[in-house]
Chain A
Amino acid sequence: MRQPSDSPPAPALVALLSGGQWPCARAARILALLLCAGLVSACNDMVEQPKLKPYSSAEAFDQNAEARAIPFGTVARDEPERIAALRTPPKVDAALLDRGRAQYEIYCTPCHGLAGRGDGIIVERGFPPPPSYMEPRLRAAPAEHFVDVITNGWGVMYSYAARVEPRDRWAIAAYIRALQLAGAGEMADAGGEAGR
């Protein structure tokens, strides 16, 4: 067995370092070796892979964006289900009201306010005030009306169809009904009548 002390340096290294006749050839080789090492660490291809992630740019496409515009007339795979969900009101229960409340507080409170009186913080900052849900006209309005306003917008209010799923629109409508009942001071169990 060889002692570690007299083990020769790796043959490749010996060849490399002793190969040249002149010191400058040797230096050149070492330099080349260092350069290779530098290059290997510089091309870290896996960090920037030639694949498209959301929001990466793609020169081949319109506007240099990775997301392509959907061609006119395209029908989404789940389009029939979405249309069906928009047409059929779900059963109003506690879970639907909870969902409605959560969604209402994300998308509607900034303008309509927590209690639906049209006094949200954005209105305080100068947005045209929406009507209070306590108005007789809106109390009498069917749930479909609220779903329709969310889907298509109303006056200066934009459509929220891109952000609120069809089922959630019904959930919000049910929650607005619950707000109206609570606002009228009725002690009725909101769950029972909210689907009206």
Chain B
Amino acid sequence: MAQLFSARADLFLRLGLLALVVLPLTMAVSGFAYYRSSYYTGVGAYVQQPVPFSHRHHAGELGIDCRYCHTQVEKAAFAGLPPTETCMTCHSQIWTNAEMLAPIRASLATNTPIRWNRVHDLADYVYFDHSVHVTNGVGCSSCHGDVADMPLMAKAEPLTMGWCLDCHRDPAKNLRPESEIYNTAWEKPADQRRKGRALLAHYGIRKDHLTDCSVCHR
């Protein structure tokens, strides 16, 4: 009886089997790498805004406190984005003709809020609260990076579950005193371990429940 398969077909069969093993593997690895990459998490990507608002200019060079604009950050879950009126407390008198600020003036004249494009946006099934962090020794820059040096806002951290948990498992390594919460250039002192433990007690943080699923998925 003549051979059913040619030698070539045999080669294809082997290659096919090999591909069956290798392809899913590469897909899994590259998929994982993709979910970890900044393409997916958006770290470092600038977001275009209706007005090119510069934190470097306002929070950095002018030294305006974060709370001047993000009023709710100590009191509520949501940090709050400034309404047009907040910009106008200064821009009613300075840079009143600047082309860049035309949308702000139009917004005030027509009473239409400016729609800032979101830079950080957690999945809707995650519960997050600013006040609990900011009043318990976690500073803005631990999660948002050196905002006072950003010409346009970009995400500095991936905001994945692993990233949240990394701190929740051991918050002491990131805690700082009350006076440094809004200092976005804060750096950990050499003896952060020791200081962190003291701060953990100072703020009365009970870390045993912080990794419970129900803390963030309610």
Q: Is the CB of B124 within 8 A of A47?
A: yes
Chain A residues near B113 (CB-CB < 8 A): 63, 65
Q: How far is the CA of A158 from the CA of B108 in the complex (A)?
A: 14
A49: contacting residue among B63, B64, B124, CB under 8 A: B124
Among A46, A48, A55, A162, the one with the most B-chain Cβ atoms within 10 Å of its Cβ is A55
Chain A residues near B123 (CB-CB < 8 A): 46-47
Q: Is the CB of A55 within 8 A of B81?
A: yes
Given A110-B64, A127-B93, A158-B85, A63–B125 Cβ distance below 8 Å? no
B30 CB to closest chain A CB, in angstroms?
16
Q: Is the CB of B125 within 8 A of A121?
A: no
Q: Is the CB of A47 within 8 A of B68?
A: no
Chain B residues near A68 (CB-CB < 8 A): none
Among B80, B123, B124, the one with the most A-chain Cβ atoms within 10 Å of its Cβ is B124
Q: How far is the CA of A49 from the CA of B125 in the complex (A)?
A: 8
The A-contacting residues of B in range 127-156, CB under 8 angstroms, are none
User: In the complex, what residue of chain B is closest to A105 when comparing beta carbons?
Assistant: B65
Chain B residues near A55 (CB-CB < 8 A): 81, 116, 118
A89 CB to closest chain B CB, in angstroms?
23
Task: Mark contacts of B188-206 with chain A using CB atoms, 8 A cut-off: 1 yes-contact digit, 0 otherwise.
Answer: 0000000000000000000
Chain B residues near A128 (CB-CB < 8 A): 93
A123 CB to closest chain B CB, in angstroms?
10
User: In the complex, what residue of chain B is closest to A65 when comparing beta carbons?
Assistant: B113
A104 CB to closest chain B CB, in angstroms?
11
Given A48-B124, A65-B113, A125–B94 Cβ distance below 8 Å? yes
A121 CB to closest chain B CB, in angstroms?
5
B92: contacting residue among A47, A54, A158, A162, CB under 8 A: A158
Q: Is the CB of A106 within 8 A of B94?
A: no
Residues of B within 8 A of A (CB-CB), count:
27
Task: Mark contacts of A125-167 with chain B using CB atoms, 8 A cut-off: 1 yes-contact digit, 0 otherwise.
Answer: 1111000000000000000000000000000111000110000
Chain A interface, DSSP helix/strand/loop, else mixed: loop
Q: Is the CB of B68 within 8 A of A110?
A: yes
Given A47-B124, A122-B94, A106–B67 Cβ distance below 8 Å? yes
A121: contacting residue among B62, B92, B112, B118, CB under 8 A: B62
Chain B residues near A54 (CB-CB < 8 A): 78, 80
A61 sits at the interface (CB 8 A): no
B88 sits at the interface (CB 8 A): yes
User: In the complex, what residue of chain B is closest to A163 when comparing beta carbons?
Assistant: B71
A156: contacting residue among B71, B81, B92, B118, CB under 8 A: B92
Q: Is the CB of B94 within 8 A of A51?
A: no
Chain B residues near A107 (CB-CB < 8 A): 68
B90 sits at the interface (CB 8 A): yes
Given A105-B65, A163-B71, A53–B92 Cβ distance below 8 Å? no
Q: How far is the CA of A110 from the CA of B63 in the complex (A)?
A: 8
Q: Is the CB of A46 within 8 A of B68?
A: no
Q: How far is the CA of A122 from the CA of B94 in the complex (A)?
A: 9
Q: How far is the CA of A125 from the CA of B94 in the complex (A)?
A: 8
Q: Is the CB of B78 within 8 A of A51?
A: no
Q: Is the CB of B62 within 8 A of A122?
A: yes
Q: How far is the CA of A116 from the CA of B115 in the complex (A)?
A: 35
Given A47-B123, A106-B65, A158-B85, A63–B112 Cβ distance below 8 Å? yes
A126 CB to closest chain B CB, in angstroms?
5
Q: Is the CB of A46 within 8 A of B92?
A: no
Task: Mark contacts of B66-101 with chain A using CB atoms, 8 A cut-off: 1 yes-contact digit, 0 otherwise.
Answer: 011001000000101101011011101110000000
User: In the complex, what residue of chain A is closest to B95 when comparing beta carbons?
Assistant: A126
B204 CB to closest chain A CB, in angstroms?
19
The 5 sampled A-B contact pairs (Cβ below 8 Å) are: A55-B118, A65-B113, A110-B64, A125-B94, A128-B93
